[in-house]
């Protein structure tokens, strides 16, 4: 079959993965409320998440940096968009109700840096979509380690699932406390993802499910992202830009992360395709939806205040982010590898 004959299926697969990469972190966080009919989602958020996911996955596969420490570091690279585009890490959430736990100096918020950049985005925006796609489409997953960290059968995997479902669910319900808005946002995402999956399930082969981009696709992704960054840097909340030395310090994070990724051990790709149960992603995503719905109903129909529930997962993200960075980067990339060499 000629290469072009697979193009419609490949395009649909890329779009479906991009929607997943947007929907999980944004609807989990409650910031994707009413996403289906929001113009800004299609103009900014969906391309932002989808292009980042595909570009970082492409680089990981091409460089064979697909171990969990390397993938976690790629997730931190993704998280740095919260400086240049939203300015959240630099400036927290000015003028909005939310949680603030102090900062590292006047510019880098503790929750925004440790909780958001070291936990939420690496795990929810990168590792979780990667685990879901790898499980639902094994031809894609053959390039990556098995996602047993969340879909495994061990007690530790079960503990991680329960803890993460509680964190994600409570955050989603806290940030979308209106029952109708919550149901509309979640059900529209679940229906679109389920329909896309069923349409693609029998049509995706190894060519369609390739995690690498063509030269044209890579060029389009890089140009599109450059336009998003350039326009957002200048037009989106420019008053929240920090002084130039702080911007230069933030820019220096990129070569540091690149050096850490280069230090991870290259991982050989598994040429076989392992069929995994689709039950894991369905259970986790459904669990987040139901946990969030329960928290919405509690906030709506009981005297419990939202802050009393919502502060728990926000606080939990800080030690989770610090712990992940210490374990996957300081221990496994720096100390453990050095000890073996």
Q: For position 339, what pLDDT does the model report?
A: 46
Q: Is residue 5 predicted with pLDDT exceeding 90?
A: no
Q: For position 104, what pLDDT does the model report?
A: 79
Quickly state the pLDDT bin for 264 (edges 50, 70, 90): very high
Q: For position 60, what pLDDT does the model report?
A: 97
Q: For position 95, what pLDDT does the model report?
A: 52
Q: Residue 198 is part of which domain span?
A: 3-340
Q: For position 165, what pLDDT does the model report?
A: 97
Residues 290-306 have a mean pLDDT of 86
Pairing verdict, β 103-104 and 108-109: antiparallel
Q: Is residue 235 predicted with pLDDT exceeding 50?
A: yes
| Structure-token pair, residue 166 | 């509680």
Q: Is residue 316 predicted with pLDDT exceeding 80?
A: yes
Residues 210-234 have a mean pLDDT of 96
Q: Is residue 92 predicted with pLDDT exceeding 90?
A: no
Between 337 and 249, name the one with better pLDDT.
Answer: 249
| Structure-token pair, residue 246 | 């702080």
Residues 202-228 have a mean pLDDT of 94
Least confident of 44-48, 218-222, 226-230, 264-268: 264-268
Q: For position 271, what pLDDT does the model report?
A: 64
Beta-bridged to residue 104, according to DSSP, are 108
Between 197 and 270, name the one with better pLDDT.
Answer: 197
Tally the C-alpha atoms within 13 A of residue 191's C-alpha that lie toward its C-beta. Answer: 7
Least confident of 84-88, 286-290, 337-341: 337-341
pTM summary value: 0.94
pLDDT in tens, 131-152: 999 999 999 999 999 899 999 9
Query: Of how many residues is the chain composed?
Result: 341
Q: For position 277, what pLDDT does the model report?
A: 76
Closest CA to 45 of 34, 56, 61: 34
Number of domains in the chain: 1
Residues 219-235 have a mean pLDDT of 96
Between 109 and 19, name the one with better pLDDT.
Answer: 19
Least confident of 63-72, 105-114, 136-145: 105-114
Q: In which residue are the tokens 């259970």 written?
A: 283
């Amino acid at each position: 079959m000629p290469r072009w004959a697979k193009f419609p299926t490949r395009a649909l697969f890329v779009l479906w993965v991009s929607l997943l990469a947007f929907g999980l972190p944004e609807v989990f966080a409650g910031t994707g409320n009413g996403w289906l009919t929001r113009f800004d989602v299609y103009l900014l958020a969906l391309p932002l998440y989808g292009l980042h996911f595909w570009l970082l996955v492409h680089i990981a596969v091409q460089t064979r940096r697909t171990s969990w420490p390397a993938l976690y570091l790629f997730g931190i690279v993704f998280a740095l968009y919260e400086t240049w585009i939203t300015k959240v890490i630099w400036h927290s959430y000015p003028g909005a109700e939310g949680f603030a736990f102090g900062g590292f100096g006047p510019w880098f918020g503790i929750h925004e840096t440790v909780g958001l950049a070291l936990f939420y985005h690496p795990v929810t925006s990168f590792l979780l979509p990667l685990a879901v796609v790898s499980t639902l489409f094994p031809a894609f997953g053959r390039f990556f380690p098995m996602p047993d960290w969340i879909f495994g059968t061990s007690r530790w995997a079960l503990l991680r699932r329960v803890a993460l479902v509680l964190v994600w669910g409570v955050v989603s319900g806290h940030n979308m406390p209106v029952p109708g808005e919550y149901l509309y946002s979640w059900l529209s995402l679940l229906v679109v993802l389920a329909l896309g999956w069923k349409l693609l399930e029998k049509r995706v082969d190894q060519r369609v499910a390739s995690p690498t981009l063509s030269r044209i696709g890579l060029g389009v992704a890089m140009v599109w992202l450059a336009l998003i960054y350039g326009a957002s840097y200048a037009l989106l909340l420019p008053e929240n830009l920090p002084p130039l030395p702080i911007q230069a310090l933030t820019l220096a994070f990129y070569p540091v992360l690149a050096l850490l990724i280069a230090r991870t051990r290259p991982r050989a790709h598994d040429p076989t395709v392992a069929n995994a149960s689709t039950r894991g992603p369905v259970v986790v995503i459904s669990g987040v939806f139901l946990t969030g719905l329960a928290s919405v109903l509690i906030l709506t129909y009981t005297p419990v205040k939202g802050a009393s529930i919502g502060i728990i997962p926000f606080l939990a993200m800080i030690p989770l982010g610090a712990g992940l960075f210490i374990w996957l980067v300081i221990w496994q990339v720096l100390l453990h590898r050095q000890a073996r060499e």
